[in-house]
Structure formats: structure tokens, C-alpha cells
Amino acid sequence: MDISAIETGFCLCTFAGWLDIMMVVALCAMLMAGYPVAFSLAGTAIIFAVIGLAAGVFDLSYIKPFPSRIFGAVSNTTLIAVPMFVLMGVILEKSKIAEDLLDEMTKLFGTMRGGLGLSVTFVGALLAASTGIVGATVVTMGLLSLPTMLRRGYDPAFASGSIAAAGTLGQIIPPSIVLILLGDVISNAYQRAQLEMGVASPETVSVGHLFAGALIPGLMLVGLYMTWQIFVAVTQPNKAPAIPAEELGTTKETWIAAAKTLPAPLLLIVAVLGSILAGAATPTEAASVGAIGAMLIAGGRMAPKGSFAFGRPAVYVSAAAIVGLILLTSLLDLRLGRESVSTTESAGIALAFLLCALTPWGLIASLVQMRRERTMAPILDQTARVTTMVFTILIGAALFSLVFRGLGGDDTVEQALASTPGGVAGAVITVMIVMFLLGFFLDFIEITLVVVPLVGPPLLAMGLDPVWLGVMIAINLQTSFLTPPFGFALFYLRGVAPPEVKTTDIYRGAIPFIFIQLLALGLLAIYPQLATWLPGALYQ
């Protein structure tokens, strides 16, 4: 027997056994070199598929489902909500509704010590619920509020930390893009884990479950942020001084202005989130309602008072028509094609047709006003860019996961988690640490679409609750994006901060909020009911 042939075969087997790990290392190297994420995923997958074929350890049957994966991604009714929520958030941002919200909240709370910080957190939570994109929220809040806070004598570190922390709330407060993508991935991972465990009828987890699970932890984080800001304002008033009352106008004027600005965005967010949690609408349906509502709000803000055909009356009529449709569908059976329809239901159906005909009037008026204000092109451009980025990464991640699975990567991940000291708790801690470190270099989209499908099934097979795991991942990534020196939120804020704000100020300001994030993670780990109680109460 030829000894050299045996040695060659042994080397090839050893090399082939490490291909899955080498694939992950090569992907990290390409990302660190600055190549686009989507093309790095697909390119790495193709290269290692060819290497695996040459080594005889990869079967082409693993990538045959790739075309159907692409079709499934672009036709997934849940993921169709992504462009709608992006459009909703971009409209609220570009139409300066966020600026109005911040101004009014400043007038309401500005006379208190730390009032500007509380305003930033409150508006940041609203923007998080409407955009769900960390970069957009941090940049918007940094441009609008940081110069004002510095001019009013706020400590640069405290102001910077408040803005960066408020911007990361988009990771956890529903409805957000993070939770939509995470909900879809967790749902697939949960079904796969159950099938591998021999469960004939696997349970399902929807995006609505994850929205409900993230609501209480998200509000808890907002409360913890505000508690810290109040504590700093009380114990160190020089860091968060109050604004003199005479500079903000009378109390009556302030409340009148707030009554004109605050209700519309609040009602929009409540309607979108409430319809999902109540089961009255799917996330996709609620997202479309949110996009239409944002258009009407923007149109009502921009439209001239004197114009009737394309002015505020058209917007108000459309908004009233939408509210009327919601009330009609909740009170009457409006289904067509039934054998017996009462007189009341016939009248309701006719009224519903009329309201449907009136709805486009205000939308057309809003689009006309946005075009006149030159906001239409930026809105459509940013929406198209974000949506394209999400789905391109989704396609690249699908090819990467198929090749990784064909090279035995699933078994490698499962064995690594099973051999982790500490059992289930040790596996969860290990995964959280890895995701935390990856959050320094990758955005939430890449981590959600690449890492979660790999580690999700083994973790869920250990008996973990999928909603709890999804919320833990979201808060963990939120913490990573806030942690110096590589946190994405800090980089975004550094890009728009005035020159007098040093990078060390931004880092120092973020540290207390990082401890708050870790406290929230600890509370969620000790009391999983914070994430599991509301979904259980609503859907079971």
C-alpha cells in the first residue's frame, strides 16, 4: 500500500472537515476588508461550494433549493411588511414630523431639570416604533437635539449618551424591522427544531408573538433610561439644567401646540401596533396602514389651509374614511357573495364602498404636497435603498446557509453548543457573547439572517422559549450597538455631532446606558415572563 497516498487522503479528509469553519473565517475576513455584505455572503458560498466539490465533500443537491428560496423570500407575506414600515419611518423623518415632536416635548418638559433628556428619550422611543432603524434614529436625534442640549448647558457626555441610547431603542420597541426579520427567522428555526425532535405537528411563532414579547421589555428600557436621567438631573443639576420658563412661552400655548402635534403620530403607532397585537391585522396589513397613515400625517402638515381639492380637507376626509372603515368592519359583516344579507349590512356595504372611494383623495393630495415640498424623491430613494439592501442580504444569506449546511456546519454548531460547559445556560451565554462581538462589525440584518438560522435550531431544541430567545437577541444586539469603541450608534452620532463634542465624551456618556442594558438583559434572563406573559395572554 502506498503510504504517501494514505497521507494525502488523510490530509484531504482533515482539510474537508474544517471547510465549514474556514468558510466562516473567510466571510469575516471579507467583511473586515470592506466588501459589501450581500456579495461577501454569496461569493464566499460559491467559492467554498467549488472547493467542497473538488474535495468530494459537498453535494450539489444542497443548493438546488436556492431558486425556490429566492422566490420564497420575495413572496413572503411577512417580509413584505419591511418596505412598508421603512416607508412609514422615512416619511415621518423627511417630513420633519420628528422635529415638531421634539420641539413640543422640549416645551412640555424643558422647564424641568433633565427635561431635554427626557424629551429625547420619549421622541426616540416614538421614532424607534416608527422606523426601527438605529442609524436613522440616531442621526435624526443627533442633528435635531444635540446642538440644542449643548446650547442649554447640558454636559456633552450626558447629552450624547442620552441620544445614542434613545436611538438604539429601534432594536426592541415594536413595530420594527429588526423584530420582523427576527420573527421570521425564529419562526423557521423553531419549526425546524421541532421537526428534528420528531414533533409531527410543530407549533408556530409569528411576528405578532415577537412584537408582543418585546413590548414590555422595550417599555421597561425606556423607563430605566428616564429613571437614570432623572437621577442625574437631581444629583448633578449642572449636567442637565432646566430651561427658563419665559423662553418657552405660556403653559396654555405649549399645551395647545402639543395637542396639535402629538396625537397624530401617537394614534398612528397605537393603531399599527394595536391592530397586530389584537389580531385584527397581520404585520403586513398593519404596515400598509402605517404607511398610508404616515402619508396622510405628512400631507396634513404640508398642505395649505386655503386649498380644498389638494389641501387639508382632502386629508381629513381620507383619514375619517379610514376610521369609518375600521369601525364598519368591527361592527358589521361586510362580506360579499352571501346568500342572506340584512338591510343594515347592505347599507354598511354601500357605505364601505363610498369610504373606499374617498380614501385615495387624501392620499393623492398628500403625494402632491410632498412633491411640491421636494420630499418625495428622498423618501422613495431611501425606502428603495433600505429595502434593496435587506432583500439582497437575505438572498446572499440563503445561499451561504445552504452551502454551510452542505459542508456539515449545522453539525459543527450543534456539537459546539452541546459541549459548552454549563448546559443550556452556558450555550445561551456563549451565543450571546458571540453575537455581542459580531455586533461590533455587522449590522442587525446580517446577524439576524446569517447567525440566527445557524444557532437558533440547536438552542430551541434545548427547550428554550422562541419568543424569549428572540427578545434576548434583540436586546443583546442593542447593547452591542451602544458599546465603545465599535458601537454603530456611537459612530452614527460621531458623524453628526458638533466638533466641540469629543469622541471620549460620546463613549463616557454611553457607559451608564450600557449598564442599564445589561441590567435589562439580566432581569429578562431571571424573569422570562417579562417576554412570554403578554404573548401567552394574547394568543393562547
Domain ranges of the chain: 3-58+189-199+388-539, 303-373
Residue spans of alpha helices (H) in 342-465? 343-372, 376-406, 409-418, 423-438, 444-446, 452-461
Residue 5 is predicted with a pLDDT of 44
Residue 90 has pLDDT above 70, yes or no: yes
Query: What's the rounded Cα separation, in Å, for the pair 518 and 191?
Result: 30
Residue 78 is predicted with a pLDDT of 74
- 360: preceding bond cis by omega (within 30 degrees): no
Residue 395 is predicted with a pLDDT of 84
- At 224, the pLDDT band (50, 70, 90 cuts) reads very high
Per-residue pLDDT reduced to its tens digit, 461-511: 888 889 999 999 988 888 888 888 777 778 778 877 888 888 888 888 889
Residue 10 is predicted with a pLDDT of 43
Residue 203 has pLDDT above 80, yes or no: no
Q: Can you tell me the mean pLDDT for 138-150? A: 78
Cβ atoms of 310 and 368 within 8 Å: the answer is yes
Q: What would the 3-class secondary structure string for 9-78 be?
A: HHHHHHHHHCHHHHHHHHHHHHHHCCCCHHHHHHHHHHHHHHHHHHHCCCCHHHCCCHHHHHHHHHHCCC
Q: Specify the higher pLDDT residue, 260 or 66.
A: 66
What separation in angstroms does the CA of 21 have from each of 16, 26, 64, 416, 444? 10, 9, 22, 12, 22
Query: What's the rounded Cα separation, in Å, for the pair 143 and 85?
Result: 22
- At 512, the pLDDT band (50, 70, 90 cuts) reads very high
Q: Specify the higher pLDDT residue, 345 or 136.
A: 345
Residue 524 is predicted with a pLDDT of 93
Average pLDDT of the chain, as a whole number:
80
Residue 114 has pLDDT above 70, yes or no: yes
Q: Specify the higher pLDDT residue, 296 or 7.
A: 296
